[in-house]
Amino acid sequence: MAALTGTRFLLRKVKASRCLTPKRTRMKAKWATTLPKYPATNLALQHFEATYNIQLGPLWPSVRVSLLSERKYGALINNFSDNDAVVRDLQDKGCQDFVSCTEQGVQSLAEQEVGRDSDGTPGKKLGEINNNNPFGDQEPAPLRLSSNIKCFVFPRGDIARFKPSRPDEQRLLTYYLMDAASLLPCLVLDVQEGHTVLDLCAAPGGKTLALLQTQAIRFLCVNDSSVSRTSRLKKVLHSYAPKELLTDKRLRVTSFDGTKWGEIERDTFDRVLVDVPCTTDRHSVLEEDNNIFSKSRTTERRRLPQLQTELLLSGIRATRPGGEVLYSTCSLSQPQNQYVAEQAVHLAREEGIQLQVIDLRPLNRMFRKTFNFAPDLLLGEMVVPHLTANFGPIYMCKLRRLS
């Protein structure tokens, strides 16, 4: 009875305090007049319409409708958790680990010449594919991928959703839901036993988590200039990684400006991931919140290629000679992808750093069951959204430091 009275008293207090809150500070939907005249999502779509129509040509209408439709996720399996039952359950639901279902070595580039693309259209002639390709008709070397990363996806055309992940007995979540194409940069980074790795722009931490799954890293440095986003990343790590690992000296989490990294820690890491801030195309056409196309962020948006180049150059400097650096964005934009990679390679060369571009064409062959890749890129590879495989966009370009 006493408890009930207490609850009633509290309720009354809450009601009274609500009445005391001045009207203007109460949460309510915005008045029509205060809504932005030009919603950022509309501005983003207009911008993409103008630029991607030219860049992607006949591919754009399909990419456009996919960007505006519900995206697809993958479930990155947490190797630190007790996940046997979860994996069995995912398999029973028809999901497959896309990483272990690669088509490596099944079909050479020459065979693709007479083959068919995954959507059933005839494959392009080798000469056509390579018209603009810096690697020419050369057969690419097989790609080595980071091991132990497992990610389950529903088959092409299946738009079923995953249930939220549940904790195991040690309270570790069993899988992390993310765009499955975001895993490709981590796979391509080819993390090997004993490597030192820098994740330069790491928050909120999906790719960091994927890198940790390899359980091969000797020292992992995780950085993001945003303090609030770094806190979010730490929370993610706490939900997925054992305490011993988080307090271990082999993991360092920092909040520095990544553009300065190469000045502080030069020629150091075996592998560097530079997953830069970009126009986040999918987010920009769907969400008003934190949209880079809002009028107030125009200068920031226009400065993106400059910032991206500085971050990539910094990542190149932080890589040891012989080491490798992976540049990635979640944008389709050529100025943010190819041009940034080219410019950073050029600026590095002026400093005496020689780089080799790694041929990523095998990715297309290995993962075409799961993803749609953009054809004819001059530099790097890009997953483009498609209604039957609505992942991406994800662009990636890999460089090896020769000196």
Q: Would you name the residues annotated as active-site residues?
A: 330
Report the distance separating Cα 222 and Cα 148, nearest Å: 20
CB of residue 310 vs ligand SAM: minimum separation in angstroms?
8
Asked if residue 393 binds ligand SAM (CB under 6 A), the reply is no
Choose between 112 and 182: whose C-beta lies nearer to ligand SAM. 182
Report the distance separating Cα 82 and Cα 167, nearest Å: 9
The burial of 249, by beta-carbon neighbours within 10 Å (0-12 exposed, 13-18 middle, 19 or more buried), is given as exposed
Count of residues near ligand SAM by CB under 6 A: 18
Choose between 190 and 224: whose C-beta lies nearer to ligand SAM. 224
Report the distance separating Cα 190 and Cα 330, nearest Å: 20
Choose between 129 and 189: whose C-beta lies nearer to ligand SAM. 189
Binding piece for ligand SAM, criterion CB under 6 A, among 101-109, 131-139, 223-231, 389-397 = 223-231
User: DSSP readout, 304-358?
Assistant: HHHHHHHHHHHHHHHEEEEEEEEEEES---TTTTHHHHHHHHHHHHHTT--EEE-
Report the distance separating Cα 123 and Cα 118, nearest Å: 9
CB of residue 281 vs ligand SAM: minimum separation in angstroms?
12
3-class DSSP state of 119: coil
CB of residue 275 vs ligand SAM: minimum separation in angstroms?
4
Which of 179, 224, 281, 381 is close enough to bind ligand SAM by CB under 6 A?
Answer: 224
Instruction: Give the list of residues 6+ apart from residue 62 with CB closer than 8 angstroms, or none.
Output: 386, 387
E-assigned strands of 193-283? Answer: 195-199, 217-223, 251-254, 269-275
Asked if residue 351 binds ligand SAM (CB under 6 A), the reply is no
Site string for ligand SAM, 301-330 (x = CB under 6 A): ------------------------------
Binding piece for ligand SAM, criterion CB under 6 A, among 79-87, 204-212, 319-327, 356-364 = 204-212
User: How does DSSP classify residue 123?
Assistant: P
With beta carbons less than 8 A apart as the criterion, state whether 297 and 249 touch: no
Report the distance separating Cα 285 and Cα 373, nearest Å: 21
Site string for ligand SAM, 176-195 (x = CB under 6 A): ------x-------------
Question: Beta-carbon neighbour count of residue 58 at 10 Å?
Answer: 7
Binding piece for ligand SAM, criterion CB under 6 A, among 2-10, 56-64, 121-129, 222-230 = 222-230
Choose between 90 and 186: whose C-beta lies nearer to ligand SAM. 186
Choose between 310 and 381: whose C-beta lies nearer to ligand SAM. 310
Report the distance separating Cα 350 and Cα 356, nearest Å: 15
Segment 244-283, which members bind ligand SAM (CB under 6 A)? Answer: 257-259, 275-277
Asked if residue 335 binds ligand SAM (CB under 6 A), the reply is no
The residue nearest ligand SAM at its CB is 258
Choose between 275 and 324: whose C-beta lies nearer to ligand SAM. 275
Which of 115, 140, 155, 204 is close enough to bind ligand SAM by CB under 6 A?
Answer: 204
Asked if residue 389 binds ligand SAM (CB under 6 A), the reply is no
Instruction: Give the list of residues 6+ apart from residue 394 with CB closer than 8 angstroms, or none.
Output: 179, 181, 182, 184, 185, 328, 329, 330, 382, 383
Q: Which residues bind ligand SAM (CB under 6 A)?
A: 182, 201-207, 224-226, 229, 257-259, 275-277
